[in-house]
């Protein structure tokens, strides 16, 4: 049974503060990799103020401590196994976890291919929003690290998500 204390609001923002992806989740627990939340099939989310979407499959999200990324892990029947967002360090307060999405994404597709996505958006937003140089360099460093870690299955990318996903599947 899920209690109100188990509920958390996941809020991604864009640089400058505008609302990006946001949705409810259930706090599952934490381990050496960070804090895990789960979203069962049927979870409703929104990108900014767009109409809500309903996710048909369950998933879990890892919010590592003091790192510039988050990672979504999907079940076997999803085309994307792992979807990492390059973000500012996630902050927890008052039942909410929030971070700034810095455009770059690292994906591991179900067939094993690794892909760095949205490099064009990242370049465009550096100019449009005036990303500070330290944010740009941290985002690029994090993306490079994630590409290697996801490819080699290091840390949480070696299957740590399975036990957490089993709690929401």
Q: Where are the beta strands (DSSP E) in 40-135?
A: 44-47, 53-54, 59-63, 69-73, 80-87, 91-93, 96-109, 114-117
pLDDT in tens, 1-15: 455 669 999 999 999
- 105 bridge partner residues: 85, 117
Question: Could you tell me what percent of the chain has a pLDDT over 90?
Answer: 96
> Which carries the bigger pLDDT value, residue 127 or residue 169?
127
Region 102-110: what's the mean pLDDT?
97
């Amino acid at each position: 049974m899920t209690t109100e204390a188990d509920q958390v609001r996941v809020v991604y923002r864009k640089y400058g503060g505008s609302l990006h992806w946001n949705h409810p989740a259930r706090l599952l627990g934490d381990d050496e990799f960070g804090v895990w939340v789960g979203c069962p099939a049927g979870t409703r989310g929104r990108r900014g103020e767009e109409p809500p979407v309903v996710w048909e499959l369950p998933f879990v999200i890892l919010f590592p401590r003091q790192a510039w990324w988050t990672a979504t892990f999907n079940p076997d029947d999803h085309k994307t196994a792992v979807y990492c967002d390059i973000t500012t360090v996630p902050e927890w307060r008052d039942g909410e976890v929030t971070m700034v999405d810095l455009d770059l994404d690292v994906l591991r597709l179900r067939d094993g291919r690794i892909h760095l996505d949205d490099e064009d958006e990242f370049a465009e937003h550096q100019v449009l929003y005036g990303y500070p140089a330290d944010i740009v360099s941290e985002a690029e460093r994090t993306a490079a690290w994630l590409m290697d870690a996801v490819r080699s299955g290091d840390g949480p990318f070696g299957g740590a998500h399975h036990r957490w996903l089993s709690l929401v599947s």
